[in-house]
Chain A
Amino acid sequence: MRVVLAEDHFLLRDGLARLLTAFGHEVAAAVDNGPELLAALMDLRPDVAIVDVRLPPGFSDEGLRAAVEARGRVPGLPVLLLSQYVEPLYAHELLATGSEGVGYVLKDRVSNGAQFIGTIERVARGGTAMDPEVISQLLVRKARDTAMAALTGREREVLECLAQGRSNAGIAEALFISEKAVAKHIGNIFPKLGLPPSDTDNRRVLAVLAYLNH
């Protein structure tokens, strides 16, 4: 994969580049500010971009703006946002550019290298990766919605995992239940949310995200 990296913190940028190289990916460009990022995304059209939300020159949300702008010009350009904080509003704005090939995770997740690379690869393939913290914050809001209220506690946990883009096997592993049970829960969740059941992982995630983004 060809990756564009935008991170103003030298140590983290260097570390990420090393990590990517170690897993056999190519770092096409590593930039440290918003305008350069946008230029790099437009020129290089990478397979995936890893972008820190807070970048120079303004140190506010330049990374997000550049990512949103780039996805506006190149629909579906895979972008994984990294941040010290997860901000539901930013997740909302990112998802507004389409829910394929986007991710928004805490920088903490970088510490688990293999898992982080998995996340990047999922986004590059057009999948979705939302930090569990974003999901849980957004789920709080939905808790009152009648449709959500109909879900059992376990079903909500499953939905949360679904929103993170996990496979049935991944959910089973995360929740310490059998894959069969997961499939049963998913079968229950979709009708409750008024969503037609579907086979592919990606469409399930899209449905969940569409619902969260509603």
Chain B
Amino acid sequence: MPTTTDPQPQPQPQPRPPGPKKPHPTRSPAHPGAFTRSLLLWGLSLRALWVSLWTTHAHLFFMSGLRAKLLPRAVKSVRKLADRQRQLAEEWSGRDFPAPYPELPSADQGAALRAQLASREGQVWRDWRWANLHPYVGGLIAFAPLALVLSGVWGLLTAVFGVRLSQEWDSIWYLFVPVQNWPTAALAGVLGALQFPLAFRWAAPRAVSLHERYLRAMLAPSEDELRAEMAEMAHRIDHLTTTRTAAVDTQMAEIRRIERDLHDGAQARLVAMGMTLDAAEHLLESNPEAVRALLAEARENSTKALQELRDLVRGIHPPVLADRGLADAVRSLALISPLRTEVRADLPARPEPPVESAAYFAVSELMTNAAKHSGAGRARIDISHEPARPDYEPDIDTGTDRGTGTDTATRTGPTPGTLRIKVTDDGRGGADATRGTGLRGIEQRLATFDGVLTVSSPLGGPTTVTLEVPCALSSPKTTSC
């Protein structure tokens, strides 16, 4: 096949500024290398056929639970092919070809991968759709110039051998010409020859550019999708900015509180102790009785200082939380709560320490609230972790009234799983997340972790507060739950 139609070495694509979406005006429609390109594209479409067969098999196996390890490799091969196509399209058209991929889950995260594949949007899905269609549509487009050339060759062959062949085979046709004698054979030859320039000059560049448009339609995110993605990102940035500010404020307030507690508490007591001991030293000779009293006072101060330090540490990070994790720390809260509290925990492992701490203090505050304001006698705390599911929806209702819950976080797509804590009391109800500063504070602190607080508190009770924090369980289990 003559591929030497380019009279000069192929010009490298000029680096162009990304910009106009319509075809570049300076690009000549009859690019000399267009035919070679169409051949390359056709070759790639044959590879796509192979990839598509393979991935379909892998997908079937994956969905039936067998050989799940095949799938990540299949996904990678699709992406590799799509990357090659996009790279060629970018090179030849000089225009950007966006491909916003989510992060590819590692091979052992079958569920996350399944989630990506199951979604009916996004780049991964577009890739798959494209890979299965491409061998036919892309192949047909890319094959057209080659088909013309082959037809031209057949025309020339007809011109040379047509007369003799027509005698042997009764009659042969070339296009619309019945070849019977030498003038018709010559006509076939001319028609055939004409198809070469048609293929190289006209069909090849058009096939290449049509192929590119088809690729963009299949593989690139649509304008709407891009806009939606941008809007979502903007929303997300807003949300992150707000929660970050709140987190920083909370942290500063905490630090100030700790500083004040130390300054007014343990530090002051130690100063007083020093003074008492000093006074005792001076009185040692003259008034042993007074020294005894002073020493007793010093010991009292040391006891109180220790007590205050203990309380302070408990407020920063309770030892039982560090030692035993969330479930046992909440059990400990239940033990000292004035409410008769039942704790049910089902955590196969521990959440990240910051999430654990936030959840603990949230529960602690909820229990305090319940004991103070609800008039309840009993409470129940359910702690569970729900692993990531592919069709994750941020709906968290479990059958009770939604109440006045306000979802502060927008969550789309799969999450690493959800830590869910439900605190229920049998009090008089009527709690309102929009009024109580306590609930608002908890909500703000959870928002740092994209957590959500839902309150269901009809008048007359019962009150159910549900905390949900997206998080993975990581640390190994250290105690039975």
Contact = CB atoms under 8 A, between A and B. Distances in A.
Interface residues of A, number: 20
B332 A88 contact: yes
Interface string A135-166: 00110110111000000000000000000000
Chain A CB within 10 A, most for which of B336, B340, B377: B336
Interface in A40-98: 54, 60-61, 84-85, 87-90, 92
B336 A84 contact: no
A200 interface: no
A137 B314 CA distance: 14
B474 interface: no
Contacts of A108: 303, 306
A144 B377 contact: yes
Contacts of B421: none
B337 A89 contact: no
B210 interface: no
Given A111-B299, A144-B338, A87 B332 contact: yes
A104 to B, nearest CB: 13
A90 B478 CA distance: 15
Give the interface SS of chain B, mostly helix, strand, loop or mixed. Answer: helix
B339 interface: yes
A140 B336 contact: yes
A1 to B, nearest CB: 27
Contacts of A87: 319-320, 332
Contact of B336 (A85, A106, A111, A137): A137
B299 A141 contact: no
A61 to B, nearest CB: 5
Given A84-B310, A85-B319, A144-B377, A60 B324 contact: yes
Contacts of B303: 108
Interface string A162-178: 00000000000000000
Nearest to B377: A144
Contacts of A143: 338
B313 interface: yes
A186 B450 CA distance: 54
Chain A CB within 10 A, most for which of B319, B324, B331, B339: B319
A183 to B, nearest CB: 30
Chain B CB within 10 A, most for which of A87, A111, A140: A87
Nearest to A90: B320
18 contacts: A60-B322, A60-B323, A60-B324, A60-B478, A84-B310, A85-B314, A87-B332, A88-B335, A88-B336, A89-B335, A90-B320, A108-B303, A108-B306, A111-B299, A138-B335, A140-B336, A144-B338, A144-B340
